[in-house]
């Protein structure tokens, strides 16, 4: 079994994963970009911008490995999955979708939190954790399962979600204490009222250049 750092290194071969983040939250985009530092990451602010980015993909673009969609509606994630299938783009033919959502009653219709569901979407509850994101990417990149199967258990507790007392709120983003918390706390503690201009450069991409 590999560590988080070793799995990340494996994911960098033969090229860094290309990830497109869609989230209306500046803090969430900043946190996800921080977790995926070193990967080929770009970001958009709305579902409409995400759809425009996908429609504008060019055959010469680097293949898009994954979309991380931060949205509460299951139907929205399903719609993006259907759009990917309908575009028949060589750049998007292997693109997978990770759907981040806040667990509340009736938010998601009995789909598994981590695993394949309708349209092959990986549903993942917030708060996002680096180990879970990397495990999902490793699965999508088809790394040998034994290299990442127990990654979450080595970095987080055996409980799927932390208790309220174990969570810290930065801006609009909940971060689980423990895995990644010490690294992310200093990064985000000054971003409670984060502005767009303070985001990492790779998270400032508009819908017009997110796919270039």
CATH number of the domain within which 142 lies: 3.40.50.2300
- Domain of 54? 4-157
- Calpha distance 175→167 (Å, rounded): 6
In a domain, 194, yes or no: no
In a domain, 167, yes or no: no
Q: Tell me: the pLDDT tens digits for 87-120?
A: 999 999 999 999 999 987 654 554 443 344 455 7
Tokens, residue 24: 């209306």
In a domain, 201, yes or no: no
Q: Tell me: the pLDDT tens digits for 36-88?
A: 999 999 999 999 999 999 999 999 999 999 999 999 999 999 999 999 999 99
Alpha-carbon dihedral 139, 169, 73, 49, rounded to 10 degrees: -80
In a domain, 135, yes or no: yes
CB 122 within 8 A of CB 97: yes
Q: What mean pLDDT, rounded, does the chain reach?
A: 74
Tokens, residue 195: 């502005």
In a domain, 186, yes or no: no
Q: How many structural domains does the chain have?
A: 1
pTM given for the model: 0.71
Q: Tell me: the pLDDT tens digits for 178-203?
A: 344 444 444 444 443 333 334 455 56
In a domain, 141, yes or no: yes
- Calpha distance 207→45 (Å, rounded): 8
In a domain, 107, yes or no: yes
In a domain, 85, yes or no: yes
CA distances from 13 to 58, 78, 210 (A): 23, 30, 22
Among candidates 101, 134, 141, 93, which has minimal Cα distance to 117? Answer: 101
């Amino acid at each position: 079994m590999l560590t988080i750092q070793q799995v990340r290194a494996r994911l960098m071969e033969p090229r860094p994963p290309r990830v497109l983040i869609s989230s209306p939250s500046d803090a969430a985009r900043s946190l996800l970009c921080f977790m995926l530092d070193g990967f080929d990451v770009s970001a958009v602010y709305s579902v409409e911008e995400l759809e425009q980015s996908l429609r504008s993909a060019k055959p010469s673009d680097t293949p898009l490995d994954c979309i991380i969609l931060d949205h509460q509606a299951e139907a929205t994630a399903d719609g993006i999955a259907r759009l990917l299938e309908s575009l028949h783009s060589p750049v998007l033919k292997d693109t997978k979708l990770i759907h981040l959502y806040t667990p509340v009653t009736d938010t998601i219709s009995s789909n598994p939190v981590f695993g394949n569901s309708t349209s092959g979407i990986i549903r993942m509850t917030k708060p996002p954790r680096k180990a879970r994101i990397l495990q999902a990417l490793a699965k999508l990149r088809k790394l040998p399962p034994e290299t990442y199967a127990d990654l979450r258990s080595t970095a987080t507790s055996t409980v799927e979600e932390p208790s309220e007392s174990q969570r810290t709120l930065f801006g609009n983003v909940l971060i689980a204490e423990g895995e990644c918390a010490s690294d992310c706390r200093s990064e985000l503690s000054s971003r409670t009222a984060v502005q767009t201009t303070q985001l990492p450069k790779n998270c400032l991409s508009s819908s017009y250049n997110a796919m270039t």
